[in-house]
Structure 1
Amino acid sequence: MPHLYLVDGSGYIFRAYHRLPPLTNRHGEPVGAVYGYTTMLWKLADALHKADGPTHMAVILDASGESFRHGMYDAYKANRPPPPEDLVPQFPMIREATRAFSLPCIEETGLEADDLIASYARAALAQGWSVTIVSSDKDLMQLIQPGLDLLDTMNNRRLGDADVVEKFGVPPHQLGEVLALMGDSVDNVPGVPGIGPKTAAKLIQEHGDVEAVLAAAPGMKPGRLRDNLIEHADAARLSRELVRLKDDAALAQPLDALALKGIPEGPLRAFLEHHGFRSLLARLESVTDAVTPSGVSPALPDDPPCDHGAYETVLDPAALDRWIAEARAQGHVAIDTETDSRDAFHARLVGVSLALAPNRACYIPLGHGGGDLLGADFPAQIPLADALDRLRPLLADDSVMKIGHNLKFDMVVLARHGIAVRPFDDTILMSFDLDAGLGGHGMDELAETHLQHRCISFKDVTGSGKKALGFHQVDLATATRYAAEDADVTLRLWRRFSPRLAAEAATRVYQMVDRPLVPVIAAMERAGIKVDRARLAALSRDFAQSIAGIEADVFALAGQSFAIGSPKQLGEILFEKMGLKGGRRGKTGIYSTDVTELERLAGDGVEIARRVLDWRQLSKLKSTYTDALQDSISPEDGRVHTSYSLTGAQTGRLSSTEPNLQNIPIRTEVGRQIREAFVAEPGHVLLAADYSQIELRLAAHMADVPALKAAFAEGQDIHALTATELFGHVDRDTRGRAKTINFAILYGISRWGLAGRLGVTPDEAQAMIDRYFDRFPGISRYIADTLTSARACGYTTTLFGRKTHFPRLSSKNQAERQGSERAAINAPIQGTSADIIKRAMVRMQPALDAAGLSGVRMLLQVHDELVFEVPESDVEAASAVIRRVMESAAEPAVPLSVPLAVEIGHGPSWGAAH
C-alpha cells in the first residue's frame, strides 16, 4: 500500500539552524542550516523507517508573503520576529538541497505549509493510502486519524490519538477547538483572555466545540471566565477560523508525482561539491561505489534510532560475564565511565557502560547509593572489586578494540584501579582529525550533526544548582538510559568515522600522531608536578602589595579612587574627567577600555593607561596562578594535575585546563617567579627541553628558502641574518625588529599590525614587508600558494597530513576573511610543529626505558617545551636521550631539509631550568 510522507520543511529548517554552529562554505555563504537540513533529509529519505517506510514523499514549505489568513486578521503572525539575518540567504539553498534529492519541494503563494500538508493528506487518505507527517507541530496534530500519524524525528517517536489526548486533554478532531480558545502568542491568534490549555480542554470536554462553549457562556457561574467568553466571543470565532487547516486546496503536483525513486548521484554530488560538504560526499561515494583520489569509501551505516528502553542494567556477575564474552567474540566494544567528578585524577568510579551494537548497550553500576537516591539507599550492585577484576582482562585484551570518546579521561580514572586500556580508538580524535575547524567535537554536538540524535543532557539526569545530585545518587533506571546512551552513541560515531579516515586521508595523522599520544598524556596527568605552596603564598602576598601600589599610582593620576576593574568607571575617568582623545563607546554606551585601547594610550605616553595595564596583568597572574594554583594542589601527593586537551586548539597544539599552564608569561620576571614555584622532588631536578625556533625552521623547509636553510644548517643567528638582509647592519634595535618581523610574517600580519608592533607608520611597515619578501621570495610564494590551496580545498594541511578547515576564507565580512587568511597561513607551520612535538612525546618513554632511565618522568608540555623530573644522577644521560628523540621526531615520515635544535636546562625548579 502506498505510504506518503509529508515533511514539514519549515520545522526542519529551524531545527537545523539552531542545532549547528554557524558554518560557511568555501564561497563565504552561511550554510549551517543547509548542512543540518541536508543530513536530516537524507536520513529520512534514504534510511529512516525503511521497514514500513515511504513509497511517496514531498517536502512542504511556507511560501514567502502573506497567506489568506491575513485577509481575515491583518495582525496574524504580527508578533513573529523576522528570521535570523544569516538564515535568509539559506532558504534558496535549502530548496536546491531538496531538489538535489529528486524530492518534490512544494509551496503555494497564499497558503501555509500546514494547509498544503492537510490537502495532500486528505487526498491520499481518500485513495486508501497511509500518511505520515514528519513534524511535531501542534497545529498538524489536528489531522491525526486512522491511517495518519505524525513522526517526531527529534524524539524518535510516532504521535497518534493517545498522544494528543495526553497533551491537550481532547482527541485530534477537537484540538482545533482547544487551540482557538487558548490562542497562540507566537502566531498572534487572539483566543480568549485568561483561558489556557487546561481551561480550554475542560470547556471543550464539557461542551464539544467553540460555538457550544460561547452559547453556554451566559449561563455560567458569574466571574472572569464567563465575562471574557461573552466579551471576546468574536475573537474566539475568528481564532477558530485562523487555526482551521484548509484541506481542500488544489494539489500543485499529483500524488503519483511524489513517488520515491532513489537518490540520483549526479545532482546530489554537484550540490555537495559546490558547498564542500565532505562527510556527505564520502557517504555518497559509498552509495555509488565511486572511487575518490584517496580510495574507496566503505558504506556508512544506517543505524536505527536510539532506543533507551533496550538498554540493560547489569546487576549480577553472570550478566557481566555474558557481556564480556560477547565483546570478546565480536572483537570490539565501546566503553564509557561514569564518575562523581570531572577531575579525572580525583574522581570516584560510579559505573561503566558498554555497547556492542546500536541499541545493544548496558550500564554496570558500581558506586550508586546514599543521599537522595530514589529507591533503596544502596541498591544491589556488583561489588566494585569483583566487577573490575572481570573487566580488567577485557580492557587489556589485544584482540578486542576498545572504543571511547575522550578516552584519556577514562584511562586516568581506570589507571587508579590498575586497569590499562588497549588497543583503542577515540572518536573525539577521529572527529578532530577529520573535521578540525568545522565545529565542536563534544559527543552531544557530534550526535546531533552526524546521527541526528539529541543526547540526554547531564543536568536532565542530575538537576542543576544547589539541589543537583551527584551521579551516584541518580536512580539506576535513569542512570542506565544516560550512561548506556553514551556508549551507544560512541559506537555509532565510530562506525561513521572509521571508514572516513582512509577516504579523507586522515589515517596518517590519526595513527601516527594523535592516537598514540592518548596514554602518554594520561600518564603525564597522573604524574602531575610538585608545587611549593609556601612560595606561591609568598608570591600572592608580594603581588597583593604591588597591586596596591599600582592602585595608589592610578588613583593619584586620576585624582580620585574608583574601581579599576570596572570598564564603565575607567572609561569615564579616562575620556570624561581626564579628557583623553579617541574614546569610543560600544552599543551599551560604555567607553571601550580593552587592551588595544589602553596600549594605544600608553603608546601616546599616557601614564595612567600603562599603569592600568600593569594592574590588569598582575591581578590576572595573582588570581589565575599564585592564588588558584594553591587550590589546585592535590592533598594526596602535593602535586598539581593539569588536564590536557588534544582537540582544544584548531591547529593540533595541546591545551591545558584546571589549571591552564600554557599562559604563564615566558619572558617576564613575574613569569619566571611563578615557574620557580614548580619544583622537583628531593633527589631530583626539573629538566626543560625546548625546541629552538622550530616554526622558523619549518618555514625555511616548507617555503624552501635557501638563505634561511643555510643559516640554520650553519648554526647562524637567524634574527641577525634577517636584520642584515633588511637593514644592512646588526645592532640590538635592528635584531629586535628582525625577530618581530620573522615571527609576524608567519602569522600573516598586516601592514597595520606590524606598524603597531614596531611603532612605525603603516607605510614604513609595508616597506619592511616588501623588503622581507624581496630577500626571501620563498616565503611570499608559500603564503600565496597556501591561501590559493586553502580557498580551493577549504582546508590547509601539515607535513603529516593534519587538516585544518577554514570555512570563512571567502567570507564577505572583511574581518572574518582576513582573520581566516592569517590563521591559514600559519596553520601548516604551527600544526607541523605540534605534530613533531607530539611524535617526540610518544617516542620518549620507550627511548628512556631502553636507555635504562625508567626513573625519568615527562610531566609537562607547554608550547614547544617538554618538562621532565629526572634523578640527579641521570641528568647527563637523560639529556642526551631527550635531545636525540626531539631532534629526530619528524623522521622517517617527514625528512626535513633543516636541522631541529633543542635547548636543555635543568635545576631545582622549572624557573631555574631556563
Structure 2
Amino acid sequence: MSFGKGCHLHLIDGSAFIFRAYHALPPLTRKSDGLPIGAVAGFCNMLYKQIEANKGPDAPTHVAVIFDYSGKTFRNEIYDKYKANRPPPPEDLRPQFPLTRDATRAFNIACHEVEGFEADDIIATLSRQAREAGGRCTIISSDKDLMQLVGGGVEMLDAMKNKRIDADGVREKFGVGPERVVDVQALAGDSVDNIPGAPGIGIKTAALLINEYGDLENLLEHAEEIKQPKRRQALIENADLIRLSKQLVTLVDDMDLDFTLDDLELKAPEPEPLLSFLTEMEFRTLTKRIADQMGVEPPAIEVSAAPVDTPDAPPFNAGKYEWVKDVDALTKWIERIYERGYVAVDTETTGLDTMRVDLVGISLSVEAGEACYIPLRHKESAGDDLFASDALAEGQMNFDVALTMLKPMLQDESILKIGQNMKYDAKIFARVGVDVAPIDDTMLLSYALHAGLHNHGMDALSERYLDHSPIPIKPLLGAGKSAITFDKVKVADAVPYAAEDADITLRLWQMFKPRLHVEQVTTVYETMERPLVPVLAQMEMNGIKVDRDVLSRMSNNFAQKMAALEAEIHELAGRSFNVGSPKQLGEILFDEMGLEGGKKGKTGAYATGADVLEDLAAEGNELAARVLDWRQLSKLKSTYTDALQDHINPDTGRVHTSYVIAGANTGRLASTDPNLQNIPVRTEEGRKIREAFVADEGKVLLSLDYSQIELRILAHIADIDALKQAFRDGLDIHAMTASEMFDVPLDEMTPDIRRKAKAINFGVIYGISGFGLARNLRIPRKEAQGFIDRYFERFPGIRTYMDTTVEYAKEHKYVKTLFGRKIHTPEMGSKGPRAGFAKRAAINAPIQGSAADIIRRAMVRMPEAIYGMPAKMLLQVHDELIFEVEEGAVDAVTKVVRDVMEGASMPAVKLDVPLIVDAGVGVNWAEAH
C-alpha cells in the first residue's frame, strides 16, 4: 500500500516506552539465567496494548518504533556539553536495550535508529513526509521536544494518559503555538539536556517575550528595548548561546533515510517468531494471552532454577571445525550470527604487542562444538631461509573483503561479541578500523566470579571448568631461535587450533554468564569490569611519549655511579669481586668478614636478599648499605633506562603499556610490557626516571591522585569516629594519629613522631607485624610491637574490623569490597606461615579492593566526562590518573576529572569521609607528580 491521502502513520517513541516500562515495574530477572528483563516485559505489554487499542476508523495503516542510537550525535559536535549532565542508564537496563529491538521485530513492527541522530529527528523527518504525502501522523510520546512537530495533520498521543495533544495542547504547555516552541525552548534552556538558554528566563517569561516580539530573532534584535534590566542583560550577553540553543532544540526534518513510508506498512504479527521471542524471555502470562488471541497453542516454558552449566555440550572435535575460504562460506556464518544474536570471536596475530603485530586470521563460534577459522595472511612458506616466500598461501579470503563483510556485524549493537581477554582482540580490530561493541569477556566473567581461586587464562579455565586441554601452541610455532610467527603456520594446522579457541570461549561464556546473578556479582561485572575494557584499550593505544635522549643520558649517569659504588664496595670488602653475584657477596659478608646471621640455602650459598642486607645495614654495615644502593641503580638501569628505550614504538614515539585487569585478586590493575606502575619514586634516582615521560609540544601532563584513599576507606569501613572527623576537618591524618597515640599536642608535633605514626597508619592496612614495623622504622621489635598495641587501644574499631573480617573470611571463604566485589580466601584454613599471610590478605582485601573499585568507577566514567575536551587519559598508577592536556585547558580538565574522581563511589556507596584528589601539572611526569 503506497502512503498517501487516507493513510495514518503511528510513530512510537521507543526510548520513552523503555524508560517508562523500566521505572513503572519492579526489577524482574529471567529465572533460567538471571538476565534483567523487567523493562522488556513492560515494553512488550505496552506494545501489545498499543496494537490492541488501535482498531476501528482511527487505526494506523503504517507504524514504526523509533529508537535513539547509542552514542554521540551531531548536536555534540555543535555543543560538546549537550546532554553531558545526563547520568548513564542503570546497569540492569543496559542489556535490555537490544532486547527491546528484538521485541519490536518479533511483533512484526518496523524499528529504526540512525547513527549520529536522535529518535526525535527521525520522527520529525517521517512526520513531515507523512504530512507532505497528504496523510496523517500520530506521534506516540509525551516528550515536549516533539511538540514543535504538531499541526497540519500531525498530533501526539500520551499513551500512558490516553491524552491527545494537538496545537491547543501545545499552547497549554508552552504558551505559544507549535511553530514557536523552539524559540521558547531556546530562551528557557533545559537543565536535563544541558541546553544553556538565557539565565533567569523560564518557560512562562520566554512565551511572554516571544508572543510580544513575534519570534526569537526579532526579540534578540530589539533586546535593548526591554525594560526589565535582568532580562535585557540576559538576552544581550547570551545572544550567541541562545542562538546555539535554538540549533540544539530544532529537530532535523529532512534526513536522508534508507527506508520509505511504504516500508512501514502495518503487518499482523506472525505467531512463530513472536511466541518464540516471548518464550525465550520466559513471559508466561503474555505468551499465553497472545497465543490465545492468535488461536494457537502456547509454547511450554520450562525453566530450571539451577545455573546452566551446559552439561550436554558436545565433545570437542577439532575435525569438525570449518576452514572458511570464500565469500559464500563467510556469508553463511554471518547469517548464523545474526540469527543467534551473539558470537564468540578470537584473533590470531604475529605476536603479542598489539601496537605492532599483524592480524593473521579470525575465529568464530555460535554453537558449542561448531567453529570456524578465517585465514587471511598466512604465508606460502614457513621457512626463514633463502627459499622462503612472502606470497600468501592458497585457500584464504582477501583481507579487505573479509573485513568489509565482518565489520558491520562486529560493530552492530544488536550482536554480542564474546572474547577471552577481549581487550587484546579489540585493539587488534581497532588498528584495522573496526570498533568492536558490545562485548562480553570470559576472562573478566571468571574474574568477577572466581577472584582469588585461580588465574583466568583460557587454558586454565578450559581444563578446570570444561575438563578439556586445549591444543597447545608450542608445537605449531616451535621454540628458541627456530620459532616462527603464526602467519608462517600452515593453514591446515592453524584451523583446528584457532577455531578451538572460539569454541572454548563460547562454552565458558555459556557456563559463566548465568552464574553472575547466582553469585550476586552482576553489578561488579557490568559496572566495573566489562565497561573498563574499551577505556583501557584506548589508554593503551594513546600511549605516553618518552624522550629517548633523556633515558640515554640517565643510563650513562647510572653506569658511572655504579662504577664509583663498585670501587667503594671493593675497598670496603678488601678485594675485588663480582658485586652482582649473590654467592660471592655472601662469602665476603659471612665467611671473610665474619658477620652473624648468615643462612645457607639448598645450593650451599648464603642468602643475600634485600631483607638480609637491610638488617645488616640497619646494624651499621657500610658494605651491605652500598650493595643495596648499587642494586637499586642496577635495577633502574636495566629495567627502566635501558629497557624502556626498546619499548618506544617507532611509529608513535610512545610507550604503550598493557594493563592486566584480572591479575590482582583485589581489583588492582597491573601494568606490563613495560611495567610503569613500579617505577620507584622514594629515591631521587627513581624520581628522575619519570622526567623521561613527557608531553607533546603545546601540551602538559596532568596528574590527579587520590589522597590517602585507603586510610579514608579504613575509617569508613571500621567506623573510626576520630579518623572520620579528622578527614572531614582536613587535618594532617598522620599528625592526628601521632597526637592520639603519643599524647603529643599537634602544635608540638615533630617530624620523627609523625613519621612513626605514618608508618603505623599504612602498616596496619597491610596487617604489618611488630617485626615488619621494626624493620621499617629501624627500631627494636619490642618497641615496634608496643606502638601497634597502643594503636589498637586508641582506635579499637580497627581491631574489631580485623577480627570481624577474619571470622567472615573463615566462614564464607571470601571477603567483599564496599561495591560487592568478591575476593576468595581459600587459604584461610591454612597452618603455619601461610595462615598469617591469608589473614593479612583477608583484612587488606576489602580496603585495597574498595579503593581499586573507586578508581575503576572513575575511569569508566572518564571518557564521557572529558568528551570534546583537548585531553587524553594515558596512565593509571593505582591511585593516580595521568592525562595529556592542551596547556590552555588544564584548569577546565582538572575540574572535570577531579569531580569525577571525588564522586566516583556515588551513588552506589556514600562514604562517611570525603575523597580528596590532588592535582599536579608539568611538562614531564616528575614535574606533574
The match for 2:258 is none
Give the CA deviation at 1:429: 0.5
Aligned partners of 2:308 and 2:511 also within 8 Å: no
The match for 1:322 is 332
Give the counterpart of 1:614 among 611, 629, 638.
Answer: 629
Q: Deviations over 1:355-394 (max 9, x none)?
A: 0111110000011114327998622311111111111111
Aligned partners of 1:289 and 1:297 also within 8 Å: no
Give the CA deviation at 1:478: 0.9
Q: Is structure 2 residue 722 aligned with structure 1 residue 712?
A: no
The match for 2:812 is 793
Q: Quick one: which amino acid aligns to residue 735 of structure 1?
A: R
Give the CA deviation at 1:831: 0.5
Q: Deviations over 1:244-283 (max 9, x none)?
A: xxxxxxxxxxxxxxxxxxxxxxxxxxxxxxxxxxxxxxxx
Q: Quick one: which amino acid aligns to residue 833 of structure 1?
A: A
Q: Quick one: which amino acid aligns to residue 499 of structure 1?
A: P
Q: Quick one: which amino acid aligns to residue 340 of structure 2?
A: Q
Q: Is structure 2 residue 854 aligned with structure 1 residue 828?
A: no
Where 2:928 maps in the other structure, the secondary structure is coil
The match for 1:341 is 351
* Equivalent residues in 2 for 1:531-570, closer than 5 Å: 531-570=546-585
Aligned partners of 1:661 and 1:862 also within 8 Å: yes
**After the TM superposition, which of the residue ranges 513-522 and 461-470 deviates more from structure 2?**
461-470
For 1:427 and 1:703, how far apart are their aligned partners in 2? Answer: 34
Where 2:798 maps in the other structure, the secondary structure is helix
Aligned partners of 1:301 and 1:496 also within 8 Å: no
The match for 1:782 is 801
Q: Quick one: which amino acid aligns to residue 622 of structure 1?
A: K
Unaligned runs of 5+ in 1: 1-287
Where 1:354 maps in the other structure, the secondary structure is strand
Q: Is structure 2 residue 427 aligned with structure 1 residue 412?
A: yes
Q: Quick one: which amino acid aligns to residue 531 of structure 1?
A: V
Give the counterpart of 1:750 among 762, 769, 774.
Answer: 769
Q: Is structure 2 residue 378 aligned with structure 1 residue 368?
A: yes
Give the counterpart of 2:596 among 574, 581, 598.
Answer: 581
Aligned partners of 1:300 and 1:499 also within 8 Å: no
For 2:794 and 2:522, how far apart are their aligned partners in 1? Answer: 38
Q: Is structure 2 residue 610 aligned with structure 1 residue 591?
A: no
Q: TM-score, normalised by structure 2?
A: 0.66
Where 1:809 maps in the other structure, the secondary structure is helix
* Equivalent residues in 2 for 1:26-175, closer than 5 Å: none
* Equivalent residues in 2 for 1:252-651, closer than 5 Å: 297-298=307-308, 300-372=310-382, 378-651=393-666
Where 1:789 maps in the other structure, the secondary structure is helix
For 1:767 and 1:536, how far apart are their aligned partners in 2? Answer: 45
Give the CA deviation at 1:299: 5.1
For 1:358 and 1:297, how far apart are their aligned partners in 2? Answer: 17
For 2:339 and 2:617, how far apart are their aligned partners in 1? Answer: 69
For 1:470 and 1:803, how far apart are their aligned partners in 2? Answer: 39
Unaligned runs of 5+ in 2: 1-301
Give the counterpart of 1:844 among 859, 862, 866.
Answer: 862
The match for 2:99 is none
Aligned partners of 1:301 and 1:495 also within 8 Å: no
Give the counterpart of 1:816 among 814, 825, 834.
Answer: 834
Q: TM-score, normalised by structure 1?
A: 0.67
Aligned partners of 2:309 and 2:510 also within 8 Å: no
**After the TM superposition, which of the residue ranges 469-478 and 711-720 deviates more from structure 2?**
469-478
For 1:504 and 1:526, how far apart are their aligned partners in 2? Answer: 34
For 1:299 and 1:868, how far apart are their aligned partners in 2? Answer: 43
For 2:891 and 2:380, how far apart are their aligned partners in 1? Answer: 54
Q: Quick one: which amino acid aligns to residue 549 of structure 1?
A: A
* Equivalent residues in 2 for 1:645-794, closer than 5 Å: 645-729=660-744, 730-794=749-813
Q: 1:359 to 1:514 in 2, by over 3 A?
A: same
Where 1:681 maps in the other structure, the secondary structure is coil
Q: Deviations over 1:138-179 (max 9, x none)?
A: xxxxxxxxxxxxxxxxxxxxxxxxxxxxxxxxxxxxxxxxxx
Q: Quick one: which amino acid aligns to residue 830 of structure 1?
A: Q
For 1:753 and 1:599, how far apart are their aligned partners in 2? Answer: 12
Aligned partners of 2:572 and 2:623 also within 8 Å: yes
Aligned partners of 1:332 and 1:403 also within 8 Å: yes
Where 1:327 maps in the other structure, the secondary structure is helix
**After the TM superposition, which of the residue ranges 380-389 and 902-911 deviates more from structure 2?**
380-389
Aligned partners of 1:686 and 1:908 also within 8 Å: yes
**After the TM superposition, which of the residue ranges 472-481 and 688-697 deviates more from structure 2?**
472-481
For 1:750 and 1:517, how far apart are their aligned partners in 2? Answer: 36
The match for 1:74 is none
Aligned partners of 2:377 and 2:392 also within 8 Å: no
Aligned partners of 1:529 and 1:640 also within 8 Å: yes
Q: Quick one: which amino acid aligns to residue 837 of structure 1?
A: I
Give the CA deviation at 1:300: 4.2
Q: Is structure 2 residue 828 aligned with structure 1 residue 802?
A: no
Q: Quick one: which amino acid aligns to residue 358 of structure 2?
A: R
Give the CA deviation at 1:756: 1.9
Give the CA deviation at 1:755: 1.9
Q: Deviations over 1:170-206 (max 9, x none)?
A: xxxxxxxxxxxxxxxxxxxxxxxxxxxxxxxxxxxxx
Q: Quick one: which amino acid aligns to residue 697 of structure 1?
A: R
Q: Quick one: which amino acid aligns to residue 421 of structure 1?
A: V
Q: Quick one: which amino acid aligns to residue 351 of structure 2?
A: S
Q: Quick one: which amino acid aligns to residue 910 of structure 1?
A: W
Give the CA deviation at 1:289: 9.1
For 2:783 and 2:315, how far apart are their aligned partners in 1? Answer: 62
The match for 2:917 is 902
For 2:907 and 2:311, how far apart are their aligned partners in 1? Answer: 36
For 2:410 and 2:303, how far apart are their aligned partners in 1? Answer: 36
Give the CA deviation at 1:667: 2.6
How many equivalent pairs are there?
619
The percentage of aligned residue pairs carrying the same residue is 55
Q: Quick one: which amino acid aligns to residue 306 of structure 1?
A: F
The match for 1:217 is none
For 1:870 and 1:326, how far apart are their aligned partners in 2? Answer: 45
For 2:336 and 2:803, how far apart are their aligned partners in 1? Answer: 55
Aligned partners of 1:429 and 1:510 also within 8 Å: yes
Where 1:804 maps in the other structure, the secondary structure is strand
For 1:349 and 1:867, how far apart are their aligned partners in 2? Answer: 30
For 2:467 and 2:395, how far apart are their aligned partners in 1? Answer: 35
For 2:724 and 2:382, how far apart are their aligned partners in 1? Answer: 67
Where 2:906 maps in the other structure, the secondary structure is coil
For 1:838 and 1:358, how far apart are their aligned partners in 2? Answer: 33
Aligned partners of 1:687 and 1:904 also within 8 Å: yes
For 2:477 and 2:647, how far apart are their aligned partners in 1? Answer: 25
Aligned partners of 2:828 and 2:838 also within 8 Å: yes
Aligned partners of 2:310 and 2:511 also within 8 Å: yes
Q: Quick one: which amino acid aligns to residue 841 of structure 2?
A: A
Give the CA deviation at 1:761: 2.7
Where 1:911 maps in the other structure, the secondary structure is helix
Q: 1:365 to 1:764 in 2, by over 3 A?
A: same
For 2:545 and 2:918, how far apart are their aligned partners in 1? Answer: 23
Give the CA deviation at 1:766: 2.2
Q: Deviations over 1:460-497 (max 9, x none)?
A: 22222222221111111110000000000000000110
CA RMSD, 1 decimal = 1.5
For 1:380 and 1:684, how far apart are their aligned partners in 2? Answer: 49
Q: Quick one: which amino acid aligns to residue 595 of structure 1?
A: A
